[in-house]
Amino acid sequence: MTAPPNTEPTATEGRGTLEEPQVRAMFDRIASVYDTMNSVMTAGLHHRWRERAADLTRVRPGDRALDVATGTGDLALVLAGRVGPAGEVVACDFSQRMLELGREKSASARADVRFEAANALALPYPDDAFDAATVGFGARNFADLERGLAEMTRVLRPGGRVVVLEITTPQRPPLSWFFRLWFDRLVPLIGRFAGDSAAYSYLPSSVRRFPGPEELGGVLARAGLADVRWILTAGGTIALHSGTVSAP
């Protein structure tokens, strides 16, 4: 008889740090509830934020876009609508179960998205292959943030855009108080009802240890991007960063 998976938070999950195989296993484990939990936690607003991320890529019909750590492919589907049938969207992730669900979602939407297994720290694509690269709510899970963003930059053509959509911690009360109550107390509780308190204890901890907007802007600049900017929305709980690959 096989023992059930451990869904109680471990010490490392509570600190928001996991080894790469643990992150992969966690996302395989929660894939079936991932979309529902995203909608519950954000009151459905995550779709609007992904639209804004797609706006920042500035992709046009016929362009090629890469969505890294795509999960079930929500941002990739938005990008597919922007590049049209003449363009191409590649959506990559290292969770096979997420990719399976993404392919099903793409087929249902009749969207032309190619889902591929890939590690964000060693993208299997040549230099200058895409016009834009995005990551939505996935950069926190990179085992090496600087390396992951450098890889996204490497695969872009001159003039290409990197866009990072991520949760950030608001600093000013009263929103900062509400954010801590929601993320530190209620989200893990909801995760327990969804069947995986460990994953949804990891989430708020990973947000706390992730760089703030200004620091993340510095990481993007060190990755080789120019004109790095960021927008805060949803009361300062969501950050959208963008940067451009300079011409050689």
Q: What is the mean pLDDT of residues 110-123?
A: 97
Tokens 């995203």 — which residue? Answer: 38
In a domain, 129, yes or no: yes
Beta-carbon contacts of 178 under 8 Å, excluding residues fewer than 6 positions away, are none
In a domain, 19, yes or no: yes
Total of domains in the chain = 1
In a domain, 94, yes or no: yes
- The pLDDT tens digits of the residues spanning 136-151 come to 999 999 999 999 999 9
Q: Does the pLDDT value for residue 183 go beyond 90?
A: no
Instruction: Specify the higher pLDDT residue, 177 or 167.
Output: 167
Neighbour count for residue 212 (Cβ, 10 Å) = 12
pLDDT of residue 17: 62
Lowest mean pLDDT among 39-43, 72-76, 131-135: 39-43
Q: What is the mean pLDDT of residues 156-181?
A: 90
Supply the range of the domain harboring residue 177.
Answer: 11-245
Burial, 110: exposed, middle or buried (Cβ in 10 Å; 0-12, 13-18, 19+)?
exposed
Q: What is the mean pLDDT of residues 203-211?
A: 89
Residue 93, domain CATH: 3.40.50.150
In a domain, 1, yes or no: no
In a domain, 6, yes or no: no
Beta-carbon contacts of 206 under 8 Å, excluding residues fewer than 6 positions away, are 16, 17, 140, 141
